[in-house]
Amino acid sequence: MENQDELCRAYCQSKGIEVLGIYREEGASAKTAQRAEFLRAIEFCRKNKGKVDAFVVYKVDRFARNTEDHFYVRKMLIEYGVTLHSVTEPIGNNPAEKFIETVLAGSAEFDNAVRAQRSISGMIAKINQGITPFKPPIGYECQHARKRGEKKLVADKPDTQIFPIIQKALKEFSKGIYTQVDMIQLLDKQGLSKIRGKETSPQLVSKIFVKYLKYYAGIIVNPWTNEEVQ
């Protein structure tokens, strides 16, 4: 990121562009629509229409990850009198440069789609191994690897304090005679709110006895195919 900053500054200096603002998004992906710093940069251009004439990015794929967003925002910048510059790519306003920009925007979208598909394929493989790639429901300890960026390698383990409480509550729930309020009282009577340090909400009860009921029964549901894995 620091190197990208330096290259962007050097580019501006070589083109005689005065730097009015620097917007960095640490760890943010261009595929995410709600990027705070990116939106701030666009808003700065809008508010300073006529005073800003260049929007400099390190690469086109830092600008947007699909062609629809790319050209939508590009059109906005044109309306503000702002030209998009890429430090590492020859984009511009002549036909050849516009063509290159279109290809680069499409390539960024393709790359993002491939990455997403690989990620989904990896998560489906985990599910088929009996490992949920997502955060587990209350009562389980997430077994993500300690080092950041490493993937979950084993199934989540039951929380030694909370899982027995959930297990007992599920047995009572199966009788079909308890209301939501009854279940809250039953859980808290077993010490759930004390262990968690917060009140047991109706929303949590709904998650336990509706949303994650199959998970507690030892079934992982593939969210992409709705297939059940035991």
pLDDT tens digit sequence for 127-142: 888 888 888 899 998 8
pLDDT value at residue 133: 86
- Model confidence at 151: pLDDT above 80: no
The token pair that represents 121 in the structure block: 């394929």
Closest C-alpha among 128, 106, 124 to residue 116: 124
pLDDT value at residue 27: 56
**What are phi and psi for residue 181, nearest 5 degrees?**
-65, -40
Report the predicted TM-score, pTM, of the whole model to 2 decimal places. Answer: 0.58
* Superfamily (CATH H level) for 2-114: Resolvase, N-terminal catalytic domain (3.40.50.1390)
pLDDT tens digit sequence for 187-202: 998 899 999 988 889 9
pLDDT value at residue 51: 92
Domain boundaries, the chain: 2-114, 140-229
- Model confidence at 30: pLDDT above 60: no
Residue carrying structure tokens 């959930």? 166
Q: Which residues have CB under 8 Å from 94's CB, separation 6+? A: none
- Residue with the bigger pLDDT between 152 and 229: it is 229
* Separation in Å, CA 99 to CA 60, 71, 157: 13, 13, 53
pLDDT value at residue 146: 55
**Would you call 218 exposed, middle or buried from its count of C-beta atoms within 10 A (0-12, 13-18, 19+)?**
exposed
- Model confidence at 57: pLDDT above 80: yes
